[in-house]
Amino acid sequence: MKENETEITKRIMERFWEDFPLELDVAIIGAGPSGLAASKYIAQAGKTVGIFEKKLSIGGGIWGGGMLFPVIVVQAEALPILEDLNIKGRDAGDGYYTLNAVEFVTKLGSNVIDCGAKILNGMEVEDLIIKNDEVSGVVINWSAVSIARLHVDPLGIRARAVIDATGHQCEVCKMVLSRGYKFAAKSGAIEGEKAMDVESGERFVVENVREVYPNLWVTGMAVSAVFGGPRMGPIFGGMIKSGKRVAELVLKKLSK
């Protein structure tokens, strides 16, 4: 085989455009634990899913474990999801299980890809497409464009549902309010995240998953940021349960 630099470039570009989704069932913003978990279950159900991650790496806050110790904790209630991911936690007693943080990210990402979801890293969502008082897509650009502060127009992607999985920053929900729209599920300003309370925080991010504006959903730590829930640190059972919960709710609406 004769090596040819332009042929390599051609194959990269062809493969990219084959995989690049212009129309999605679900656009997920943020490839942290809740966003990845949501994408797995939605794609597994046969829906087209694109995950937009502004960093080059997926996994959000998983990689750093607890204070750069590459270990995270999940509760026993999250074990069925770990089984779906072929991840075995180590029993640490009292209903807690420890996981290697790197294994957790890589297996979660591998599962997502195997289910057919497209992970688009190095891309950020800078705005929403809103028509007839409902979200109908996302406006994307390369993350490097905003970092370099270049004046480059973005592109639009259609989506039947959008999930804000941007974590503490709840970036997509802030876009809605900054444009003067009101949350359908809860009017008023974003309440902001409260101080650490692990037990309450783990429940909060699952119980308060909801549609905040027509076709816009919130999951994971973005739930705490929007609705004033506690933070919880390096315990991730609530994160993946929140992702599975939003997947269930979105799939139910899409089936109507």
Tens-digit pLDDT string for the chain (256 aa): 667 889 999 999 999 998 898 999 999 999 999 999 999 999 999 999 999 999 999 999 999 999 999 999 999 999 999 999 989 899 999 999 999 999 999 999 999 999 999 999 999 999 999 999 999 999 999 999 999 999 999 999 999 999 999 999 999 999 999 988 888 666 567 889 999 999 999 999 999 999 999 999 999 999 999 999 999 989 999 999 999 999 999 999 999 8
CB neighbours of residue 224 within 10 Å: 27
Domains of the chain: 23-64+112-254 (3.50.50.60)
Q: In a 3-state reduction of DSSP, which class is residue 162?
A: strand
The reported pTM is: 0.95
Instruction: Give 242's contacts (C-beta < 8 A, 6+ positions apart).
Output: 34, 37, 205, 206, 209, 219, 220, 223
Q: How far apart are CA 197 and CA 170, in angstroms?
A: 19
- Cα 148 to Cα 125, 152, 223, 247: the distances in Å are 16, 10, 30, 35
CB neighbours of residue 4 within 10 Å: 9
